Amino acid sequence: MSDCIFCKIINGEIPSTKVFENEHVLAFLDISQVTKGHTLVIPKVHKENLYELTPEIAKNLFEVVPEISRAMKQEFNPVGLNLLNNNGEAAGQSVFHFHMHLIPRHGEGDGFG
Ligand code: 5GP
Ligand code: ZN
């Protein structure tokens, strides 16, 4: 989608700090990290939200999440990690290209939740 920020990140029109990439999935640091290492995981195909995902897209996304989580554990040594999706404006979605947040937790006072 031509006016989608995340599609622009996928095709390189907008720079990002990539943490993982394969044929179907891209993971990159959130521009406004709620904690150190806050990462977004997105499908390379434009799908607005959870309702639009096919089983194949969901499989492609979820099968790389453990690997990305382990890399984040290695890099940031968090005490915990939140995996979340804001689905729909009323749930806090602000970018309408499906994404999952991976939010490393660094203990009390880490700034999130
Ligand atoms: P949502 O509120 O839709 O669940 O999350 C959207 C996320 O995208 C926000 O955490 C926001 O900081 C992030 N974001 C918005 N624009 C950009 C951008 O241009 N680059 C990156 N890396 N993250 C972005
Ligand atoms: Zn998009």
Ligand 1 pocket test target in 13, 19, 32 with most atoms within 8 Å of CB? 32
Domains of the chain, residue spans: 5-105
Ligand 1 centroid, distance to 31 Cα (angstroms)? 6
Q: What is the pLDDT of residues 9-59, one digit of tens each?
A: 999 999 999 999 999 999 999 999 999 999 999 999 999 999 999 999 999
Rounded-to-integer distance, Cα 51 and Cα 54, Å = 8
Q: Is the pTM of this model over 0.90?
A: yes
ipTM of the complex: 0.99
Fold (topology level) of 5-105:
HIT family, subunit A (3.30.428)
Query: Cα 3 to the chain's mean position, in Å?
Result: 19
84-103 average pLDDT score: 98
The protein residues having their C-beta less than 5 angstroms from ligand 2 (an ion) are: 1, 4, 6-7, 46, 97
